[in-house]
Amino acid sequence: MVMSDDMMDAIEKENVVFLSTCSGDIPNVVPIGFARPLNDETILLVDNYMKKTRENLEKNPKAAIVLRDSLKCPYQFKGRVEIFESGEYFEDAVDWAKSVMTKLSPKAAVLFKVEEIYFIQPGPEAGKKVD
Ligand SMILES: Cc1cc2nc3c(=O)[nH]c(=O)nc-3n(C[C@H](O)[C@H](O)[C@H](O)COP(=O)(O)O)c2cc1C
């Protein structure tokens, strides 16, 4: 599923997104500051401090994201992640995190591949899938 330019722009500019994961019967949601689109299907997230999130993703790579400012970007992104602890994506994540906060020592680059997008704007379209 492809994100629009407006969606990518909103993610790029947003300070915090909320990342939801689940591997059993207890859902988990966390704010993530290091989130930015790499292309129209992929969002890079940086694992600096993930615990339950990471445990969940190791067992079940499916996740969902909404932006903190959901009025500006009223969409729910669903997809699955791939985790990289070395290589190009990991190096990118480390460079990015350290350029913002030198003390950070990222554990992994978490690549979120967008598979489905849903409208969440209150109104008749809420909950419907974006085609
Ligand atoms: C504003 C804010 C931004 C955050 N950004 C990140 C981030 O970019 N990467 C990260 O790994 N943790 C980040 N955290 C920490 C996570 O939200 C969370 O504390 C961590 O994943 C542990 O929770 P968990 O056990 O549910 O995974 C941030 C926390 C806050 C409050």
Mean pLDDT for the stretch of residues 32-49: 98
Grouping H, G, I as helix, E, B as strand and the rest as coil, residue 54 is: helix
Nearest CA owner, ligand 1 atom 7? 32
Average pLDDT, whole number, for the chain? 97
Q: Is 34 in the pocket of ligand 1 (CB under 6 A)?
A: yes
Long-range contacts of 17-21 (CB under 8 A, 24+ apart): 17/65, 17/66, 17/67, 17/68, 18/65, 18/66, 18/67, 18/68, 19/45, 19/53, 19/63, 19/64, 19/65, 20/63, 20/64, 20/65, 20/66, 21/52, 21/53, 21/56, 21/57, 21/60, 21/62, 21/63
Give the count of beta carbons closer than 10 Å to the beta carbon of residue 29. 15
Q: Which domains does the chain have, with CATH numbers?
A: 5-119 (2.30.110.10)
Mean pLDDT for the stretch of residues 87-110: 97
43 band by pLDDT with thresholds 50, 70 and 90: very high
Which residue in the block uniquely carries the two structure tokens 């460079």? 95
Residue type for 71, please?
Answer: L
Percentage of the chain lying above the pLDDT 90 cut: 98
Assign residue 127 a region: left if phi > 0, alpha if psi is -120 to 50, beta otherwise? left
- Cα 125 to ligand 1 centre (Å): 31
Nearest CA owner, ligand 1 atom 4? 32
Q: What is the pLDDT of residue 6?
A: 96
Q: What is the pLDDT of residue 90?
A: 98
Q: What is the pLDDT of residues 55-69, one digit of tens each?
A: 999 999 999 999 999
98 band by pLDDT with thresholds 50, 70 and 90: very high
